[in-house]
Structure 1
């Protein structure tokens, strides 16, 4: 941490010195004027050459024309093409060696599924998803009231290691309870690795983390904002939520850690969300994802790929733990360095297979053209297509950008529901009541392309039926929006929607 602060201070000192020198010799305004014209033009050319979508290119063009200086700064932090991302603090070869070492023990495709579901699972695997596994139990955890007690129970039962990773981790009552459980396990000799996103959890401070470190826990910030290299990674955030205990039990889903996620924040009140508890072979996919991110994120380089994958430790981190259960589970991950947007492609593949219904819950609906078109076509074909969104947003731009997509969807017969019990943050897809998807990705361009995300696909499991029951309960406390109601919205709302829709490719 101290080295990163010194590096950042050095960058500020050098930048300030250059500005002072330009001002002293009378060239400051001349340089600023020329830069304000030339640099935005160069950025526009870069965006044009990258062959982005037409919507994204136009949005960036407008920002850079009307706000040239600010636009360049925003582009440098949030608009760079993922292919230009600095790939790793550790050598790329290190992570490759780890992936090769664990490949033989990860989930493989199986035949114990219906032909349609097996075809979908293999298609998703060809897109970059993991293997589908029939030896994993899944349990839907509805809201923080079910999620956090289950996570605390698993942590307190850990015997070998606890791996925990979140996008947002607060420093409040709930966060402290989980941290203290980790401290207790670390003092008992259990390995604890704690990772948080450097931007999403920017409020985490050394005083909060110090007790965990002193107890023997290892802490890593994924692309910390205290590094001067933050400008190159700010747009590519690790949005995953993963907990792995002893390589046997794992958790993932929509819930971060903080009082608001447990419904204790007066601003949001009741918080509707969905998490997932997994036990069995598919937990190896969560484990491998965590370790891959850990090898990327750590700066001190205490752990190498051999720490997790040598002959002695491999059975500890990836134990044989098969659970006989119904249905199957498949883990899909994607991120800005992925060859293809695997989660987006997997969701499209699942939507295409629908024969009866497509139910979607998402707090942010900013789909690409292909996803939007498929949902509209499915509704026109007579399928029961429903989308559940928040009735109350947590972001002005995302809220109105989401609502800007309601018009064409309603016109083609998609049923839009707005959740009427404060905020809805769950990320769920249910196809025909048999294929359930739970995870961290929203139905938006950012989750599809720019964030590190993870989704669990559930085939013919009891959990899929639980998701259907939760959906029905949610619809009952939601307001179904009609085309007539949407048309009657105020002119002010239309302006907000249009402006938010314009910049939605940048979100």
Structure 2
């Protein structure tokens, strides 16, 4: 590692020395010319040494060759190796101490699982997933009409604390309703910690936050865009959605907070999404994830690991609360600084374990080669492989980038459905109708590698059965794409797909 740092430092030192020398001699034209050549070449050398995937390396090479100056700026903000992101030493130590302190109260055992799922659960755990819990009740919340009332009801019943974290939080009717519920609880003496992603919620200004802050809420922006370190963190976003109430009830899933997620947007109309309500021991995993992010992000409060896991406080934030359930829950988290892409590996392990069917719902389908190959092989082996994607996209590049992967999948027998009721944002996964996954991660490289994400795996629960019913209902209002229709698509669509596919490793 030290040698690599010295190599990079030497490259930039030499380049900087040449540019400075020429500038001192007055050769401004040569300075600009060499700057546009040497610096991109230095970045290309860095990317080459990092041994990235071939697709990512080639994509960056093309950007840097044809758009050298702009390419360097883009690389600085979006292309740097996530494992080198800067971390505050104090928060790093505090997070490590927190993890050690709560280890005895977390769900770590997997032995209580039925034998047919034990191998998969152990594999997921070995790749960085959490333990499996059989003392947690789960409930699928379909769309905003079920999700937001359930979250508001839980907040209004809070006795000790409410922890809330979102990638996107809007200052609109839906966002204000939750804010008012939080203020009411603050006035009743309940602790509130409110965290939002600094880029996803960059429009969330002080006018919205001040009433919360005045009422006593602790507020943190995760890697805010106003930070001088933003250039190092811009590409690594916290995409998680977590609500924890009293350490007993928790929520996660695909819905952010905003009117569009409650189907009140004129642009998108009906918004199809899925959230998950948990009650019981597995909520400790949501709590641990939230607090790990909180200690990293918070700068206004004096919270330390002892605030949440000290001898006198640990049972307030991690209370014993076992609930009878009909199956098991396993929480899996991952992010750009994780040792392994745990969520991606968990999904791959689930695909490999499938005996009958693999059903996926994702708004963005930009898979890596391994995932793509396994889905194609599963379809060729006779499994019922279905992928549900939006019929209407919310982004040009992601929409056409997604469609660029349809051809090989259709050729090998994967059934592709495009949702016909406006936009589907749900991130769902179902294997053999028995093993489900609900959470924040899309089936794309960004969620696998660059974002902080969370997925809840469901084993033989009523919630997994509900996912199957929801899938069937969604297929009924979707259009199944045929290979013939795909081949006959207009030339302009092919061009859009090819251009989007070219930069898909960068998305």
1:83 maps to 83
State the 1:26 CA deviation: 6.4
Measured after TM superposition, the shift of residue 382 of structure 1 is: 0.2
Task: Give 2:101's aligned residue.
Answer: 101
> How much does 1:89 deviate?
6.3
Q: Find the aligned partners of 2:255 and 2:25 in 1 and give their Cα distance.
A: 54
What's the CA shift string for 1:217-237, capped at 9, x where partnerless?
000000000011100000100
- 1:119 aligns to what SS in structure 2? helix
Contact 2:435 2:464 in 1 (8 A): yes
Cα separation, 2, equivalents of 1:320 and 1:476: 42
The residue number in structure 2 matching 1:216 is 216
Return the offset for 1:28: 5.5
- Is 1:109–1:122's contact at 8 Å kept on the other side of the alignment? no
Hey, what does 1:438 align to over in structure 2? 438
In structure 2, what is the equivalent of residue 237 of structure 1?
A: 237
Structure 2 residue 323 is the aligned partner of structure 1 residue 317: no
Question: CA offsets per residue over residues 33-59 of structure 1, 9 Å max, x none?
Answer: 321111110000000000000000000
Aligned length: 486
Residue 58 of structure 1 corresponds to: 58
Q: Match for residue 427 of structure 1?
A: 427
Please give the alpha-carbon distance, in whole angstroms, between the structure 1 residues aligned to 2:26 and 2:193: 53
**Which range moved further: 29-38 or 352-361?**
29-38
Q: Could you tell me whether the CA contact under 8 Å between 2:91 and 2:295 is conserved in 1?
A: no
Measure the CA separation in 2 of the matches of 1:502 and 1:116.
Answer: 41
Report the CA distance shift for 1:102/1:251 in structure 2 as closer, same or farther (over 3 A).
Answer: same
Counterpart residue number, 1:123? 123
Decide whether the 8 Å contact of 1:89 with 1:297 is kept in 2: no
Structure-2 separation of matches of 1:258 and 1:243: 15
Q: Which segments of 5 or more consecutive residues in structure 1 lack a partner in the other structure? A: 1-21
**What's the counterpart of residue 294 of structure 2?**
294
State the SS of the aligned residue for 1:446. helix
Q: Secondary structure of 2:113's partner?
A: coil
Q: Which residue of 1 aligns with 2:379?
A: 379
Secondary structure of the structure 2 residue equivalent to 1:497: helix
SS at match of 2:90: coil
Summarize deviations over 1:160-211 as a string: whole Å, max 9, x none: 0000000000101100110111111111110000000000000000111000
Q: SS at 2:163's partner residue? A: strand
The offset of 1:116, in angstroms, is 2.1
Distance 1:25 1:41 in 2: 23
Structure 2: segments with no counterpart, 5+ residues: 1-21
Within 5 Å, which residues of 2 pair with 1:182-261? 182-261=182-261
| Conserved 8 A contact 2:218-2:300 | no
Q: Secondary structure at the match of 1:498?
A: helix
Q: Within 2, Cα distance between the matches of 1:266 and 1:301? A: 39
1:112 Cα offset (Å): 2.9
Is contact 1:195-1:220 (8 Å) kept? Answer: yes
Q: Secondary structure at the match of 1:51?
A: coil
Cα displacement (A) at 1:300:
3.3
Contact kept, 8 Å, 2:252 with 2:439, in 1: the verdict is yes
Identify if the C-alpha distance between structure 1 residues 269 and 23 changes in structure 2 by more than 3 Å, giving closer, same or farther: farther
Q: Does 1:162 find its partner at 2:169?
A: no
1:133 aligns to what? 133
Q: CA-to-partner distance for each residue in 1:49-98, whole Å, 9 max, x for gaps?
A: 00000000000000001111111111100111111111336342111000
Residue pairs, 1:40-51, within 5 angstroms: 40-51=40-51
Map 1:398-409; keep pairs closer than 5 Å: 398-409=398-409
How far apart, CA to CA, are the structure 1 residues paired with 2:350 and 2:211?
45
Kindly indicate whether residue 146 of structure 2 is the aligned counterpart of residue 146 of structure 1: yes
Secondary structure, aligned partner of 1:228? coil
CA positional deviation for 1:27: 6.3
Q: Alignment partner of 1:319: what SS? A: coil
| 3-state DSSP of counterpart to 1:90 | helix
Residue 281 of structure 1, CA deviation: 0.1
Paired residue for 1:388?
388
User: Which residue of the partner structure matches residue 461 of structure 2?
Assistant: 461
Tell me how far apart the structure 2 counterparts of residues 125 and 103 of structure 1 sit (CA, whole Å). 15
Report whether the alignment pairs 1:363 with 2:363. yes
Q: In 1, Cα distance between the equivalents of 2:228 and 2:41?
A: 25
**Whole-angstrom distance in 2 between the partners of 1:89 and 1:155:** 34
**Which residue is 2:478 aligned to?**
478
1:27 and 1:256, CA in 2 relative to 1: closer, same or farther beyond 3 A? Answer: farther
C-alpha separation between the residues in 2 aligned to 1:263 and 1:23? Answer: 57
What displacement does 1:24 show? 12
d(CA) in 1 for partners of 2:28 and 2:473?
A: 62
Q: Alpha-carbon deviations, 1:304-361, whole Å to 9, x = none?
A: 0110000111000000000011000000000011000000000000111100000000
Structure 1 CA distance for aligned equivalents of residues 100 and 464 of structure 2: 32
State the shift of 1:32 in Å.
Answer: 2.9
| Cα deviation code 1:445-467 (max 9, x no counterpart) | 00000000000000000000000
2:19 is matched with which residue? none
The answer (yes or no) to whether the contact 1:89–1:296 under 8 Å persists in 2 is: no
Distance in 2 of aligned mates of 1:63 and 1:215: 48
Which residue number in structure 1 is paired with residue 18 of structure 2? none
Contact 1:124 1:349 in 2 (8 A): yes
The whole-number CA distance in structure 2 between the counterparts of 1:115 and 1:382 is: 25
**Stretches of 4+ moved more than 6 A in 1?**
22-27
CA distance in 1, matches of 2:242, 2:202: 18
Structure 2: distance between partners of 1:257 and 1:30: 51
Please tell me whether the aligned partners of residues 362 and 427 of structure 1 are also in contact (alpha carbons under 8 angstroms).
yes
Q: What CA distance in whole angstroms lies between the structure 2 residues aligned with 1:142 and 1:28?
A: 61
CA deviations 1:349-393 (Å, max 9, x no partner) are 011110000000000000000000000000000000000000000
Is the CA contact 1:238–1:452 (under 8 Å) kept in the aligned structure 2? yes
**TM-score, normalised relative to structure 2:** 0.94
**CA spacing shift, 1:29–1:241, aligned 2, 3 Å:** farther
TM-score with structure 1 setting the length: 0.94
